[in-house]
Structure 1
């Protein structure tokens, strides 16, 4: 296993562990609130894909696809928050 594959393996593990801790901390601080951070759930499949890609050696295919998925989810998350927390009722 090369250093490149090993780095994506570590990155995949981080993408699974850190959102889990963030979601647990959010539920611990605000148990009565509904979970607002749905974009953190996208990190689980990205982490799994990074781990599988580093093990199989196809990370060069998986990496661009996951980056596109993250950019799309970021854009949708920004759109969702603009729509939810806008001060006026006009279209975005």
Structure 2
């Protein structure tokens, strides 16, 4: 899927840049000059929810608050957003 299509389908979390920066559950990394806020211990959270294959999956928020998690079921994406204090818009 192209990045622009992926971005359009990524759920909006409602988290502000300040909330992303201040979250103890996220790790900020720069990828290709773009800031991304990766979910720490993603595999642990997905295992707790009986996700079938959490190893190697990544999930991150972009600075605009969109949540990107290819390979993670929609219900688990929404749960991760909620765990971070976000509200799906």
TM-score greater than 0.5 by the shorter chain: no
Give 1 or 2: higher helix fraction. Answer: 1
The structure with the larger Rg is 1
Give 1 or 2: higher strand fraction. Answer: 2
TM-score between both structures, scaled by the size of structure 1: 0.27
